[in-house]
Chain A
Amino acid sequence: DQQVKQNSPSLSVQEGRISILNCDYTNSMFDYFLWYKKYPAEGPTFLISISSIKDKNEDGRFTVFLNKSAKHLSLHIVPSQPGDSAVYFCAAIRYSGGSNYKLTFGKGTLLTVNP
């Protein structure tokens, strides 16, 4: 049941360039999307999020774009830095009422930023 898909298992970019990580989803009922970053031997760390009613959210070097008609979102990192090298997970939430905000994750994309 791959409701959230990250089709690129890895991405390699040069320091200073733009990194673009992509994510597709199949469930049109998702209300909120998030990106998490994960270093080895650590838990996922929240990076940036976007509501389904918006198409862009920016936070410093990180920008998330949402294209609802295409069921596609992307994370842009500009400029990329070696410390950004990590696994990036796309995740989605469907508000089902009550008190649950469970995350549905993609498989992740390993970003390597080369000095």
Chain B
Amino acid sequence: EPEVTQTPSHQVTQMGQEVILRCVPISNHLYFYWYRQILGQKVEFLVSFYNNEISEKSEIFDDQFSVERPDGSNFTLKIRSTKLEDSAMYFCASKGLAGAGEQFFGPGTRLTVL
């Protein structure tokens, strides 16, 4: 069964450093998303991406964040200068044309900013 994969599973970085979180969505999906979950809090929407452009972004997704689909398979989230409060689980999700809204999530990347 096709699945969304994410690498790395855990990323530790120093405050102020850049990180890139990588995702490989399900191959025939067209809509891509990043969500994050700070420990003990709800899963929050960050950004949606369709047709090679951002379709919506949340208030969290400020100028320090960017997304890219550099080739036909990868979908990346870059944080330019990490802050302590960026520590969270980051989930990538994708959605196909079928279905009304079901998104398929990857296992997540745990980002720890020291």
Contact = CB atoms under 8 A, between A and B. Distances in A.
Indicate whether A and B interact.
yes
A33 to B, nearest CB: 9
Given A41-B107, A102-B48, A108-B42, 4 more contacts: A44-B91, A46-B104, A100-B56, A103-B35
Interface in A55-109: 89, 93, 96, 98-108
Interface string B20-47: 0000000000010101000001111100
A105 to B, nearest CB: 4
B95 A44 contact: no
Interface string B80-114: 00000000000101010000111111111000000
Interface in B38-88: 41-45, 48, 50-51, 55-56
Contacts, number: 70
Interface of A: 32, 34, 36, 41-46, 49, 51, 89, 93, 96, 98-108
A64 B56 CA distance: 28
A109 to B, nearest CB: 12
B23 to A, nearest CB: 11
B4 interface: yes
Contacts of B102: 34, 46, 49
A46 B103 contact: yes
Contacts of B103: 46, 101, 103
Contact of A43 (B31, B44, B51, B105): B105
